[in-house]
Chains A and B, each alone.
Chain A
Amino acid sequence: MTLEGIELKKHFPVSGGFSVGGVRGWIKAVDGVSVQVAEGETLGIVGESGSGKTTLAKLFLLLERPTGGSLLFDGMESRAFGRADFARYRRSVQAVFQDPYSSLSPRMRVEQIVAEPLPSENGESRAMVRERVAEVLERVGLRRESAALYPHEFSGGQRQRIAIARALVTYPKFIILDEPVSALDVSIRAQILNLLKDLQEQLGLAYVMISHDLAAARYLATRLAVMYSGKIVETGPCDAVYTEPLHPYTQALLSAALPLHPAARRQRIILPGEVPNPMNLPAGCRFHPRCPQALPHCRTEEPEWQQVKPGRFTACHLYGAGR
């Protein structure tokens, strides 16, 4: 089973002030992203705010319709989904969101929250549902009696466990993790990261982990995709990207992440400027105004996606064939 995006695009229209129906421009949140996730692997998608990571996650969850490109599930196009295909997709692709304080309804008991993704018409008896809920709660390290409680009776880390239990209840193959530990206290993060790792090994899950936390992504991801301004600028096996980043943006991003030891001083690449306005993207390579290694033609020509080394892809003129 694979989940694959081919040239995925999501452009949001920006309406022009008082002129009704007029479109002033487009925000290209995701602009031609091709990725695939295979069973049992973790694809880490890293990038800064505004890079399009979260929109990409919403595309994967069918919460947004792509304005271009296609999303393939098991080889089938999402636009061609019938009722049964949607149901199967929803069961197979689940999500865990960043903030367990807002992703769990305060008015529902844990049992209702966790059981909610289960289809109701399958004629499953209440006892079976109850048993399944208890089973997933225990799997994420909570007691089965927790089912009767409300979310406010739990701490942040425990709430995130409830959110994970809810994602697991339908026996999914893929889980989209949108910043799964960013809202948690540092001493709790390790618990959740270890839990996610264990669940992956036990259940053969595939994760798409969206994160701005490069250290957490390194811990979980097997493959890494780096996003900038709606595009993927580099992909490769996680360790290879971290030890030898190819794209100048990846190099700067990794050098800005601070190592955990005062003696580990290293070359810091401080980028000038900021992420470009998504309504008014620079021509050529989107990174060229901030790039320390920009070449003259970076300003005019968009770099092509290419394989630089086995398994290592990037879009950068520094590795251009025309050099």
Chain B
Amino acid sequence: MSEPAPLLVVEDLKTHFFTRRGITKAVDGVSFTLEAGETLALVGESGSGKSVTCLSLVRMVPEPAGRIVGGRILLDGEDLLHKSTAEMRHVRGKQIAVVLQDPMTSLNPALTIGTQVGEVLRLHQGLRGAPLRARVLEALSRLRIPAAETRLRHYQHQLSGGMRQRVSSAIGMSCAPRLLIADEPTTALDVTIQAQYLEVLKEVQRSTGVAVILVTHDFGIVAANADRVAVMYAGKIVEMGSTLQVFNNPGHPYTQALLACLPDVELRRQRLVEIGGQPPDLAQLPPGCPFAPRCPKRRPVCDEAYPPSVPLGSGHAASCWVLAATEA
């Protein structure tokens, strides 16, 4: 193969939580790849495993309850699961950066913005004094934070929500990471501020070529920002494809239902298609397809075994028995 290997390869990742109620398979066999400069959206409802997937990538799964029990995570060909804790500390912040949902809790209220952005650069690049200050200012202005000079001395509480999220992204992007994991970065923001933030993020991505994993439950954000989409349900990716493939031709009944059940700003729908039932309890998953109890196309086989992944086009696949039957 002459093709260069992708930036990130995740193979059969399994992260389980061991609790008194039993084993919760939060992430159960997730595989995907990511090229440099690409945006992959992880979509799903709460409890689908999107956030635990992200935490697993940086080995930040809350222990001892949670454990990565299997799989491989290759970043530039190196398996992150074989790295020591000290080595992982160099990966986090330098090669992989994380932006979390709530900038209120991800920034330290007792330190100035300048100190927090500078910390990463000091640690990973050994900068001090004037060069450090210059790089901090550069990092802030890359995220288009106005009056960066004065912001250096400010604390988190002096900033608005949108600005906080930019500072937190500036910290992430300051060491020019290869991969940025953004876990619901705009959920806490207002729509007009969300638009500002997503625009700035795109700009940064264009200028630095960073790959982005964008975790969201908002299909509007996916449609506007992602190159590829992975739809998660009960700890597994049930469908993956390019954004256009998934929106134009959703294969999995869950994806179809999700797209049909959402109200759209563009048109007034007469009636929303409902998905019955509830998201499943991960500690008590049925043996077959976890979506089967809610699926309008359910067949007897769906309750017996997990469906195989069925290719639907180049790079587009979904795991569903109904698709497998039409394929055969």
Contact = CB atoms under 8 A, between A and B. Distances in A.
- For B192, B217, B220, B243, which residue has the most chain A Cβ atoms within 10 angstroms? B192
Given A157-B278, A186-B45, A263-B244, A48 B263 contact: no
Contact of B263 (A185, A188, A216, A254): A216
B191 A253 contact: yes
Interface in A205-261: 212, 214-216, 218-219, 238-239, 242, 252-261
Interface in B229-283: 243-244, 247, 257-259, 261-266, 268-269, 271-276, 278-279
- For B46, B199, B219, B244, which residue has the most chain A Cβ atoms within 10 angstroms? B219
Contact of A219 (B45, B219, B268, B276): B268
Contacts, number: 125
B195 A270 contact: yes
B193 A274 contact: yes
Nearest to B43: A186
Interface of A: 48-49, 155, 157, 185-191, 193-194, 197, 212, 214-216, 218-219, 238-239, 242, 252-264, 268, 270-271, 274-275
Nearest to A254: B265
Q: Say which size band chain B's interface belongs to.
A: 35 or more
B264 A260 contact: yes
29 contacts: A49-B190, A185-B45, A186-B219, A186-B261, A187-B257, A187-B275, A187-B294, A191-B275, A215-B220, A215-B265, A218-B268, A238-B268, A242-B265, A254-B265, A256-B192, A256-B194, A258-B265, A259-B220, A259-B223, A259-B264, A259-B265, A259-B266, A260-B220, A260-B247, A262-B224, A268-B199, A270-B192, A270-B199, A271-B192
A300 B243 CA distance: 47
A175 B291 CA distance: 34
B160 interface: yes
B192 to A, nearest CB: 5
A190 B162 contact: no
A239 B268 contact: yes
Given A260-B220, A260-B262, 6 more contacts: A185-B279, A191-B276, A215-B264, A242-B265, A260-B219, A263-B247
B264 A270 contact: no
A257 B223 CA distance: 12
